[in-house]
A = this chain, B = another copy of it.
Amino acid sequence: MKVKVIEIKKSVFAENEKDADALRNELKNKGVYLLNLMSSPGSGKTTTLIQTLNRIKDKVRVAVMEADIDSDVDAVKIKEATGVSSIQLHTGGMCHLDAEMTRQGLDNVALADVDLVVLENVGNLVCPAEFDTGAVRNAMILSVPEGDDKPLKYPLMFTVCDLVLINKMDVAPYFDFDLERCKNNIHQRNPKAKIIPISAKTGEGVDAFADWLLNEVHTWKNS
């Protein structure tokens, strides 16, 4: 069936790539790996992070930056549940972080004492995908209740992510969610994307994510 499609145009955002590359180089020189973790609101970013940090914190020196429009509930939760150093970035209403904003956050992290910084970006499948934060890798969490069609509707997010975690696999029986269809939709956008199904609640798949992350940090520091 055909429907009418109207293209609404607006000017694009300011150039941010140079800043991001400069930040990435600086982090490389300091031996710090930055992971940019993105998702919708409510996909389970914070719970996934807590499960993961508890698996890796004795193997790698790690800090967390929690970006949020308001509130510090996530940074507090992370610190309480893992003991990992965690700061909260308030974006003042902004819907994403760019490289300059990420740098402002990193200025508050003792970079000489960490190997890995995880940036939990603002909960949003649209804007964060458009801005390179200077991270080494982009990862995202898609949760089962959001639906297996999301890669079709938020194409850029899935294109820019090196890793997609599919979270809340424990509730898959209660939703019309087809894992193979979801994987196909993701690979249609990004054939190289690594996909790990997980449940932050039961712990399923979190070891695989932790191993991926530790290997990434090791490779980055030794390349």
- Residues on B with C-beta less than 8 A from A86 are 3
Partner of A90 from the list B7, B72, B122 (CB cut-off 8 Å) is B7
Interface-located stretch among A17-25, A52-60, A74-82, A212-220: A74-82
Q: A93-B12, A153-B123, A154-B69 are contacts. A88–B42 as well, Cβ < 8 Å?
A: no
Q: In the bound complex, do residue A126 and residue B125 qualify as a contact, i.e. CB atoms below 8 Å apart?
A: no
Assess the A152–B95 pair: CB atoms within 8 A.
no
| Chain A positions 62-104 with a Cβ under 8 Å from a chain B Cβ | 68-76, 79-80, 86-95, 97, 101, 104
Known A-B contacts A69-B153, A152-B73, A155-B69; the reply to A6 vs B126 at CB < 8 A is no
Q: Interface extent on A, as a size class?
A: 35 or more
Question: Nearest chain B CB to A206's CB is how many angstroms away?
Answer: 18
For window 107-140 of A, CB contacts with B under 8 Å fall at 108, 122-127, 130
Tell which of B68, B76, B146 touches A153, judged by Cβ atoms closer than 8 Å.
Answer: B68
The answer on a CB contact under 8 Å between B88 and A5 is yes
* A42:B5 contact, CB within 8 angstroms: no
Interface residue A31 (Cβ < 8 Å from any Cβ of B):
no
* A3: contacting residue among B70, B79, B101, B155, CB under 8 A: B79
Q: A152 near B1 (CB under 8 angstroms)? A: no
Interface residue? A149 (CB, 8 A): yes
* A40 touches B (CB below 8 Å): yes
Interface check A168, CB cutoff 8 A:
yes
